[in-house]
Amino acid sequence: MSYVDEVLELVKEKNASEPLFIQAVTEVFESLKPVIEANEALYRREAILERITEPERQIKFRVPWVDDNGQVRVNTGYRVQFNSAIGPYKGGLRLDKSVTLGMLKFLGFEQVFKNALTTLPMGGGKGGCDFDPKGKSDREIMAFCQSFMTELCKHIGADTDVPAGDLGTGGREIGYMFGQYKRLKNVYEGVLTGKGLTFGGSLARTEATGYGLLYFTKEMLACNGIDIAGKTAAVSGSGNVAIYAIQKAEQMGAKVVTCSDRKGWIYDPEGVDYKILKDIKEVKRTSLAEYVNYRPNAKYTAKAEGDNMDHGVWTVKVDLALPCGRENTIDLEDAKNLVANGVTAVAEGANMPTNLEATKYFQENGVLFAPGKASNAGGVATSGLEMSQNSERLSWSFEEVDAKLHDIMVSIFHAADDAAKKYGMEGNYVAGANIAGFEKVVNAMLAQGVC
């Protein structure tokens, strides 16, 4: 058995109860085969694949807090410090009732390669909690965040591990967590990114993942002789990534006709109005069903209770698909629908929103496919720029940060494109991104010896 297959079997055996982690490792390992084969003896002796799939540290802790009725509630918090070969651990905190260690291992593993692609010195990590922020008062959110940080603060620091937002964690939560960190440690440092602008946050961080997704997509299309202007697009999700992806798509002359939340999705033939969406989801924190009250020509379709997929969104005829909700929301049937409707490109705003079968189907049917670890790297890249600003105790203008973000996304596309070409897989940006990220991390690991 080849070294890659051997370690993949080991990972499956060792992490049998963590299907998301296995899925992420499988995707990466499949595309690394040519690189590993070229260095098989060295990588085997150095146990590179065993080391890269084993988090350096995993922290699991109790998070007790008091709700508005005086009832004590208990959640489980985690931080997975996956790999620090190229810099301090860096990655978001997910707050969602579905959070498990396996989910955070998948996200942390992806983050290692994503962060390497940004060209900035950041290792990979991820954390979160099975806390459900839905329907909680501001006071309950604060109580939870303070309790979560009371334990987390023992394990993080501006030069050790720098968490940020992710699904369910936005500016409000980061603010409460930052306040508690400062209070407990008596240090004012850039320990979190995505902070408010008055306390060390960076301009353009809020917009960065969505904007970056479009900068990447535009470059990928342009390098394949396609102009993004005039194209129609389907977006899924309606949170931080989706909102600013829709805004930037509009600025580039593309029209986004769908978006979704957990309960349903909308089709707006005139193009989704991101300002209305922002008001509904970011300010009022309510349901997407509200959208049709402002745009009577739009149509809202409710999902069945407990449906975790975005099937409806992917039945709409579009040129571009931009999944920005969460993992595994495009399956093979969705991929077939999109291809039958003539989709040109799929670019992932979320982490692993396309399952393995669907990804393969897109690639086999000539669809340009951008994997999240490359196309959604704009968020963490701008977090890296926030860290730089915090270190030099300066704030850069929106234009300066946005220009750097743009250049980073273009360079990520070319790193993935070049790596794919180097190994004879031209146009396979999944393989290209995995190889480019892997080579950087592994070179650093080898240079640092057995650790």
Nearer to ligand NDP, 150 or 238 (CB): 238
Q: Which is nearer to ligand NDP, 83 or 150 (CB)?
A: 83
Residue 262 beta carbon to ligand NDP: minimum distance, rounded to whole angstroms:
4
What is the C-alpha separation between 430 and 363, in angstroms, rounded? 9
Residues 46-75 that bind ligand NDP (CB under 6 A): none
CB of 89 to ligand NDP, least distance (A): 16
166 is an interface residue for ligand NDP by CB under 6 A: yes
Amino acid identity, position 384: G
* Count of Cβ atoms closer than 10 Å to residue 59 Cβ: 17
Query: From the list 15, 146, 217, 260, which residue makes contact with ligand NDP (rule: CB under 6 A)?
Result: 260
The nearest distance, CB 83 to ligand 2IT, in angstroms, is 14
- 325 interface partner picked from ligand NDP, ligand 2IT, none, CB below 5 to 8 A per type: ligand NDP
Which are the contacts of 129, defined by CB distance < 8 A and separation ≥ 6?
63, 75, 76, 77, 78, 93, 94, 95, 99, 144, 148
Question: Encoding tokens for residue 218?
Answer: 């535009």
Rounded to whole angstroms, the Cα distance separating 194 from 207 reads 10
For residue 52, the minimal CB distance to ligand NDP (Å) is 21
The rounded distance, in Å, linking the Cα atoms of 120 and 105 is: 22
- Total residues at interface with ligand NDP (CB under 6 A): 27
90 binds, among ligand NDP, ligand 2IT, none (CB under 5 to 8 A by kind): ligand 2IT
Q: Which is nearer to ligand 2IT, 114 or 406 (CB)?
A: 114
- Choose the contact partner of 31 out of ligand 2IT, ligand NDP, none; CB within 5 to 8 A by kind: none
CA 441 vs CA 109, 323, 373, 410, 447: distances in Å: 12, 27, 14, 20, 10
Rule CB under 6 A: choose which of 108, 127, 168, 312 binds ligand NDP: 168
Name the residue nearer to ligand NDP (CB basis): 221 or 313. Answer: 313
Which residue in the set 175, 190, 237, 437 belongs to the binding site for ligand NDP (CB under 6 A)? 237
Instruction: Give the separation between CA 401 and CA 406, rounded to whole angstroms.
Output: 9
**Closer by beta carbon to ligand 2IT, 192 or else 266:** 192
| CA atoms of 111 and 328, how far apart (whole Å) | 17
Under the criterion CB under 6 A, does residue 201 sit at the interface with ligand NDP? no
Task: Give the residue numbers marked as catalytic.
Answer: 126
Is residue 334 a contact point for ligand NDP (CB under 6 A)? no
Residue 69: CB partners within 8 Å, gap ≥ 6? none
Nearest residue to 267 via CA among 292, 250, 242, 285: 292
Closer residue to ligand 2IT (CB): 35 or 385: 385
Q: Which stretch binds ligand NDP (CB under 6 A): 46-54, 81-89, 234-242, 423-431?
A: 234-242
Rounded Cα distance between 349 and 336, Å, is 20
DSSP per-residue letters across 339-356? HHTT--EEE-SSSS-B-H
Shortest gap between Cβ of 72 and ligand NDP (angstroms)? Answer: 26
Examine residue 219 and tell whether it contacts ligand NDP (CB under 6 A). no
Task: In angstroms, give the least distance from the CB of 70 to ligand 2IT.
Answer: 34
Q: Which residue in this structure is represented by tokens 């988090």?
A: 55
Q: What residue is closest to ligand 2IT based on CB?
A: 92
Tokens 């291809």 belong to: 339
Minimal distance, residue 425 CB to ligand NDP, in Å? 25
Spatial distance between the Cα atoms of 47 and 50, rounded to a whole number of angstroms: 5
Residues 6+ apart with CB under 8 A from 63: 74, 75, 76, 77, 129, 131, 144, 147, 148, 151
CB of 350 or CB of 370, closer to ligand NDP: 350
Positions 371 through 390 that interact with ligand NDP (CB under 6 A): 376, 379
Site residues, ligand NDP (CB under 6 A): 165-168, 209, 236-242, 260-262, 281, 308, 310, 324-326, 329, 349-351, 376, 379
